[in-house]
Structure 1
């Protein structure tokens, strides 16, 4: 059985973990239900998920607005309470995903995942709960780190080597206006924004603008091929660890693209600027 996730997370760290659990093809559970019952659960869940997705597509994203659907999840669980299978556990997982991915309520989402582990202990989904709970805790820690990276704060320095083995640090670029860009070749929004970044670099590099790319890719060869094709000549940090990247973890990055524009003293001017917003801030910072 394979059920689609409720909410397209894009380039999100936690989204990947939750999606892995939600989309995994699961084998029959240790305690099996009759085939007809399993089919009923799957069909009812599929119908309910599509109803939720339709509301999300229309812009409905609050717990209150989806109260009817939340009650439907509970009713479906109650109707199959005696069936300790992955198919029924999936119902509870999908409800948890609503809280994690749509309502942004990590506490309630974690409660529901803990309930899944308790109520469906023999299922494969229960075996994945601890991993997801660990990532939820990492998300909380990351949020605390990101909260410190606000305008006028000094961007914390690092001392690493770039993709070519050259020294790389923020302090080494003092006197430059710097865009710190967390990205990856596999991230659609990152690639979509790249033409704007390239244009800004071409226009302002000679006037004191520099970019530091921090890649969350896994393949060094793929990264080198991509930056050569796109003529991205600025330095790149890469350690091949994707979401577990040393610098990604250090700065609490859980979604990309994530950018920080720094002034000549290394203070944050703004975060996550796109398109014309980036060019406008660069013009001001460089005295244009």
Structure 2
């Protein structure tokens, strides 16, 4: 009987620690080139909350959610959020460029020509897939499909408030 009384609280503490995200996966080290030719490394994400959105111009859900990704970026960029939209390797570069230009995407857009970035993150096989990364470079959440943007914003608020 004594063992059960001691075991239950210990188990509860272990479960609470696991749920708090104390052992989060580090975002992979990646390098990519933006449409403007700028070379970027994930090392430059340090100290920022990052939205990494894998998408394709041929993906209807990606096109539908992009205005909300833009609005999220605009809402939080002054507080330390940054965004990169990574076009999948099968997406024609001219289509990606045209999309980014006509929609005036206010964040970095990369074309993952080799698939290396998508492979480092999973591999990412479905679009849209969005990763939310905290200031310490840890993956906090992976969304496959369109996120619930109200909940997405709540989580971003929490991550921006972290030291």
> TM-score scaled by structure 1?
0.44
Structure 2's unaligned 5+ residue stretches are 1-22
Tell me the equivalent position of 1:234. Answer: 107
The one of 255, 265, 270 aligned to 2:126: 255
**2: CA distance between counterparts of 1:240 and 1:269?**
26
> TM-score scaled by structure 2?
0.75
Aligned-pair Cα RMSD in Å = 1.9
1 or 2, which has the higher helix percentage?
1
**1: CA distance between counterparts of 2:54 and 2:67?**
16
- Matched pairs, number: 135
Local SS of the residue matching 1:195: helix
Structure 1's unaligned 5+ residue stretches are 1-150
| Structure 1 residue ranges (4+ consecutive) displaced by more than 3 angstroms after TM superposition | none
Tell me the equivalent position of 1:162. Answer: 34
Residue 266 (1) aligns with residue 134 (2) = no
Alignment of 1:1-288 (within 5 A): 152-216=24-88, 217-240=90-113, 245-251=115-121, 252-272=123-143, 273-287=147-161
| Per-residue CA distance 1:237-278 (angstroms, 9 max, x = gap) | 21446xxx2222332111111111001111111111431121
Local SS of the residue matching 1:213: strand
Offset of residue 233 of structure 1:
2.0
Note if contact 1:183-1:213 (Cα within 8 Å) is conserved in structure 2. Answer: yes
Higher relative contact order, structure no. (Cα contacts within 8 Å, ≥ 6 residues apart): 2
Local SS of the residue matching 2:52: strand
1 or 2, which has the higher strand percentage?
2
